[in-house]
Structure 1
Amino acid sequence: MSARDPQPAIGAGAGAGTDPARTPVPDNKAVRRADALDARLGLYRGGGKYIRKVFPDHWSFMLGEIALYSFVTLLLSGVFLTFFFDPSAQEVVYDGSYVPLQGVHMSQAYASTLEISFDVRGGLLIRQIHHWSALVFVAALFVHMFRHFFTGSFRKPREINWLFGFLLLVLAMLNGFVGYSLPDDLLSGTGLRIASGVVLAVPLLGTYLHFFLFGGEFPGEDAIPRLFTLHVLLVPALMVALVTVHLVLVFYHKHTQFPGPGRTEGNVVGQPFLPVYVAKAGGFFFIVFGATALLGGLAQINPVWSYGPYHPGQVSAGSQPDWYIGFLEGALRLMPNWEVNAWGYTVSFNVLIPAVIAPGILFVVLGAYPWIEAWITGDKREHHLLDRPRNMPVRTGLGVAWIAAYGVLWVCGSNDIIATHFHLSINTITWIGRFAFFVAPPVAYVITVRWCKGLQLRDRDKVLHGRETGVIKKLPDGGFVAVHQPLDPVARHKLTAHEQPEPLEPGPATDDNGVSRRATPSRKLRVRLSRWYFADQIRKPTPRQALAESPPPDHHDSPVAEQHGEQHAEQHTEA
């Protein structure tokens, strides 16, 4: 009931001037306060709409929630650490409780990190929860993003939301790197020195960017305070803004869902926001938080006291960054030592290509993919039903190829550890990595496309002939035949609900006046790419084919399942 609707006066009796059809409003402080807020904020109208919001049920939809709850854990633990961390590069002599480093010269940042770990009650636990949350957050973002990619939920009208999620991933990786560079230990200092070299490798602008970030030559005394400002203020503010807009757009566009009985492009079938979804989400938050706290308490990570303070003349053997930066490390290790001297400038391609150009291409293509696919397919329609990855083999193959390229670089970031543990030549491993970077993605693409088409053929066979029961029946003439059980309508609908678009055509050779029409190069390219994208589609059976070739149904089958699915859809459906 809205506060603007006619209501009985507060405090009046139930029968005094009231509509018998209306329930009397109780006279208590909670109602009066709610009415006061509604008069100023319009909570009843907007709140009622979103309370009834429907969310579909599927395990993959929880991946985004893992990222969200990890981000909340990051913020909470980060606020605690901010109270005790001193972002200063000023040199001090350590006299804390960690005896092996007593009397050692170090930065104030490193000394405060040791103090958090050994002298602040619960400090080490919070440090490790913070670090584990960062790793889980980035991992959940990656998996969440590829769930959207493989199911096609990035299509219109969600292209902008895909872009926001992509920017959130990039900022998370950047802020994670900046965060574990702050303690100024030997490991983080080594990574920061590599970042310094990457910035200096940028032609023309590199020196200016380096002085802006580090305040002069590396390491300098301004780097840690400036990185601290980025880590706790600027980047988190941008991330909070992106998360907020991302969630608002999820509510605005409605949640995507997989095809099923009663599910169309114009509705959502699932459970209401209150009380079902909120109860599940609240419990899931404590599961994620508890798992992260368990990792922080039992699995040691980033023991900075073992590395010692950063010194420019020292590097730890087997140094490894956090997992999400490993691909950059691998790219730097695979690149040959190429440099060009021209017009008084030295361009270090051995750093510029692997650390700037190649990652830029990988991530720009990923961020712009919704518009690339829409241009190739010519599909400008809105989509709220998801694709099964097998039904879009080219898209699935491209995603697996991207993962293969990323994975090769990630593995090669540990080529020295692989060489020492398996007693192999590091040069051999490097050359294998270079070869694999160019060979693994196309091989992964071909295998994935063929695998998806094989799964489509199996689905087609199930629709036409039913599911294999494992029963072999002997015929009167002595022959044997495998017994198949027909699919119920719900399962059949799941296997045949997907669309099968046709590739773009070049168009008529002449216009309405009979004048020859020349296709532009971009149009020709678009047609070729569209034919490649939709090439060799496995045609799903038509209803007539399915009816003609399917075995006779049992008395246990489809009507009950279909009716149950329709009733469930009617109970919780949002138009």
Structure 2
Amino acid sequence: MQSRWGSLRAKVFPDHWSLLFGQIAFYSFVVLVLSGVVLTLQYEPSTAPVVYDGPYGPLRGTEMSRALDSTLAITFETRGGLLVRQIHHWATLIMVAAITLHLLRLFFSGSYRRPRRLNWLVVFSLLIVTLGAALTGTSLPDDMASGTSLAVLDGVLQATPVIGSALSYLLFGGEFPGNVLTWFYPLHIVVLPLLIVALFVAVAVLALKHSPKRAKRKSPVAAVKSAGLFCFVAGVSVLMAATATINPVWLYGPADPADTSAGVGPAWYLAFLDGSLRLAPGWEVVWWGKTISLAVLLPVAACTLFLVIVAVYPFLEERLIGVPKDQSERPRDNPTRTGIGVAGITFYGVLWAAAGADTMALQFHLSVNTLLRVFQVLLIVGPPAALWITRRICLGLRQQDKDVAEHGIETGRIVRLPSGGYVEDHRPSTRQLTAR
């Protein structure tokens, strides 16, 4: 019984470092739940106005919502409240990063193929739901930064033809800013966490189903390693929260539809959306007496299409090139797929960097318009160039592997032949020794 349990744990919690991203994401979620429960005890999801009279002097006498007032009370009046808030925020970033790296590992190793296509869809869904939970969570303090993000969201909804106004009215419960917290709060603390738990369970079940039967490990060792990794993830979250300030809502002040925050960008995982809005040309068309802003619709459509392609890529690959072998492989073994992956990363990276164009221009004394033009060119030229360069590198590495397999590994020692010529001595590679 113990051996069987150890085998099951080995399938769900393997040893190799590249397979640990899923565990890190799960343990970050545990840290999020524990810190979120503490924050929920004092937070008030209400937009009712109050006058702040707490210990933070610069905001004393300022009118704000109960949501921000309770957030400031957690920060300055609850022992360890600021630490818990920052642990919650940093753990979110770690979780999103771990899921993203897990997806990249699946892609570049070819581990998304049949019969593992469902694994890919589940992990991708986990990323999207986590992003939704992060977005709703950052909006709950009702500070200037979150208010600006909601204003951008309202602008995107309003730019949607025909149904835009209705969507905005439905989300905000009336005209912006409405009372969006009454929607976001239950989504953030109940609905989305339950979906995340269900998706983690699905990932574990699929891992049990598709893992090789030869994977074995003793249960006590697995338990100790899993506990150690959880302590490491929790410790890193606490260390970052104790040493690096993040989301200082007291510096931003209360949200105001008439104002906006300067120098404050979205979280890194949503920055590509902001970057796409910055790079889009300011085009508008009038259709049936209504003005349609392509400057908003085009970037939103492009980012949505990008995410859809990522989600259905296993099906597209199977449709276009047939059903490949069900085995993991190194990135160099499939140059085209690796090139496509790097091109996608380049596309995302350019949009991500463009979100900070104003900050870059300020720090390096550059023109914002010039910098945006550079990013626009990179967005068009960068992905194809990245695909071509990556593919050539992979082909070169494959040729190098072939030369090593045929001739052995270079030793750097020159040997003189009986005929008088000179050649470099080679030692047999591991593959050659195995063949013998």
Q: TM-score range by the shorter chain?
A: over 0.9
Cα deviation for residue 95 of structure 1 reads 0.9
2:287 maps to a residue whose letter is A
Alpha-carbon distance in 1 for matches of 2:275, 2:218: 44
Q: CA RMSD in A?
A: 1.8
Match for 1:141: what amino acid? I
> What residue in structure 2 maps to residue 362 of structure 1?
306
Q: Distance in 1 between matches of 2:293 and 2:250?
A: 35
1:44-69 C-alpha deviation (Å, 9 max, x unpaired): 6xx86443334454210111111111
Which secondary structure state, in structure 2, belongs to the residue aligned with residue 470 of structure 1? strand
Letter in 2 for 1:361: L
Distance between the aligned counterparts of 1:273 and 1:372, measured in 2?
A: 40
Structure-1 residue corresponding to 2:252: 307
Q: CA deviation at 1:188?
A: 1.2
Identity over aligned pairs, percent? 46
Distance 1:216 1:302 in 2: 28
CA distance, structure 1, for counterparts of residue 281 and residue 346 of structure 2: 21
Measured against aligned partners, the alpha-carbon deviations of 1:268-317 in whole angstroms (never above 9, x if no partner) come to: 55442623333222211111111111001111111111111112222222
Aligned residues of 2:6 and 2:222 also touching (Cα < 8 A): no
User: What is aligned with 1:398?
Assistant: 340
Runs of 4+ displaced beyond 6 Å: none
Pair 1:445-2:387 in alignment: yes
Q: Does 1:411 align with 2:366?
A: no
Give SS of 1:52's match.
helix
1:428 corresponds to which residue? 370
Aligned to 1:248: 205
The residue correspondences of 1:258-337 to structure 2 (distance < 5 A) are 267-272=212-217, 274-337=219-282
Cα distance, 1:474 vs structure 2: 3.7
* 1:11-50 aligned within 5 A: 49-50=4-5
Matched, 1:389 2:331: yes
Q: Is the contact between residue 462 and residue 487 of structure 1 (CA under 8 Å) also seen in structure 2?
A: yes
**Conservation of the 8 A alpha-carbon contact between 1:63 and 1:140:** yes
Residue 380 (structure 1) shift: 6.7
- Answer yes or no: is 1:375 the counterpart of 2:319: yes
Distance 1:101 1:314 in 2: 16
| Contact 2:68 2:143 (8 Å CA) reproduced | yes
Of the three residues 124, 138, 141, the one matched with 2:96 is: 138
Q: Which of 236, 245, 267 is equivalent to 2:193?
A: 236
Task: Choose which of 343, 348, 356 in structure 1 pairs with 2:293.
Answer: 348
What is the distance in 1 between the residues matched to 2:391 and 2:196?
Answer: 36
| Count of residue pairs brought into register by the alignment | 433
Q: Give the drift of 1:476.
A: 4.8
Counterpart of 1:379 in 2: which secondary structure? coil
1:402 maps to amino acid = G
2:7–2:216: 8 Å Cα contact kept in structure 1?
Answer: no
CA deviations 1:149-172 (Å, max 9, x no partner) are 010111111111211111111111
Paired residue secondary structure (1:484): strand
Larger Cα Rg: Structure 1 or Structure 2?
1
Matches within 5 A, 1:190-205: 190-205=148-163
Distance 2:416 2:77 in 1: 78
Contact persistence 2:285–2:294 (CA under 8 A)? yes
Q: What code does the residue aligned with 1:280 have?
A: K
One-letter code aligned to 2:248: P
SS at match of 2:175: coil
Q: Distance in 2 between matches of 1:337 and 1:155?
A: 41
Distance 2:236 2:411 in 1: 41
Number of the residue aligned with 1:462: 404
Query: CA separation in 2, counterparts of 1:294 and 1:93?
Result: 34
Task: Provide the rounded CA distance (Å) in 2 between the counterparts of 1:124 and 1:98.
Answer: 13
In structure 1, how many angstroms separate the alpha carbons of the residues matched to 2:284 and 2:264? 25
Tell me if the contact between 2:51 and 2:61 (Cα under 8 Å) persists in the aligned partners. yes
- Residues in 2 aligned to 1:223 and 1:272: alpha-carbon distance in whole angstroms: 49
TM-score by length of 1: 0.73
Using the size of structure 2 for normalisation, the TM-score is 0.95
**Partner SS state of residue 92, structure 1:** strand
Counterpart-to-counterpart distance in 1, 2:424 and 2:17: 34
- Which of 396, 409, 414 aligns to 1:472? It is 414
SS at match of 2:153: helix
Letter in 2 for 1:293: V
Q: What is the distance in 2 between the residues matched to 1:204 and 1:229?
A: 29
> Partner amino acid for 1:182?
L
Post-superposition offset of 1:345: 2.4
Gaps of 5+ in 2: none
Q: Which moved more, 1:285-294 or 1:54-63?
A: 54-63
Supply the AA of the counterpart residue of 1:440. Answer: G
Cα-to-partner distance string for 1:57-103 (whole Å, 9 max, x where unaligned): 42101111111111111111111111111111011001111122111
